[in-house]
């Protein structure tokens, strides 16, 4: 097992960020926390580059779609894997996310273990 994988969590709900962080730490991964799309982009600009981003779709300010598009359009970041976090019943949103370049999506509320499995699987792709 090489170096620890770094996961960036982007969600405006602190509780979700906390749950995801605990899950990722359980899976021996480090986390970068962001509470908005703007903060996510700022951290990327500063060179905090994760292996994978868990990106909420519905956030005040710039949406997860916008963030995803910006990441995929930037040569320095386009290798980062992206998993969209979407609320129940927003299936269309998730598909929209895949169109703008996300690798996968998971529906909230999710099982932390399911999330860990998904993240591991995507990192191995």
Q: Give the domain CATH number at 73.
A: 3.40.50.2300
| pLDDT 10s digits, 14-50 | 999 999 999 999 999 999 999 999 999 999 999 999 9
- Residue 79, in any domain of the structure: yes
- Residue 81, in any domain of the structure: yes
- Residue 58, in any domain of the structure: yes
Cα–Cα distance list, 27 to 13, 23, 76, 101, 118 (Å): 22, 6, 26, 25, 11
- Residue 54, in any domain of the structure: yes
- Residue 1, in any domain of the structure: no
Overall pTM > 0.85: yes
Number of structural domains, the chain?
A: 1
Amino acid 93: pLDDT: 75
| pLDDT 10s digits, 49-107 | 999 999 999 999 999 999 999 999 999 999 999 999 988 766 677 788 888 999 999 99
Q: Which domain holds residue 91?
A: 6-124
Cβ-based neighbours of 1, under 8 Å, separated by 6 or more: none
- Residue 115, in any domain of the structure: yes
Q: Within a 10 A sphere around the Cβ of 91, how many other Cβ atoms? A: 11
- Residue 51, in any domain of the structure: yes
Amino acid 97: pLDDT: 83
70 contacts 41 by C-beta, under 8 angstroms: yes
- Residue 110, in any domain of the structure: yes
């Amino acid at each position: 097992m090489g170096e620890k994988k770094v996961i960036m969590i982007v969600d405006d709900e602190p509780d979700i960020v906390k749950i995801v962080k605990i899950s990722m730490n359980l899976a021996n991964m480090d986390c970068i926390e962001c509470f908005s799309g703007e903060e996510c982009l700022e951290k990327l600009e500063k060179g905090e580059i994760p292996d994978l981003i868990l990106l909420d779709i519905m956030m005040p300010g710039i949406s997860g779609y916008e963030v995803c598009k910006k990441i995929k359009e930037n040569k320095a970041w386009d290798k980062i894997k992206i998993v969209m976090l979407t609320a129940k019943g927003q299936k269309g949103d998730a598909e929209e996310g895949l169109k703008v370049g996300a690798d996968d999506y998971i529906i909230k509320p999710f099982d932390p273990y399911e999330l860990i499995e998904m993240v591991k699987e995507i990192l191995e792709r």
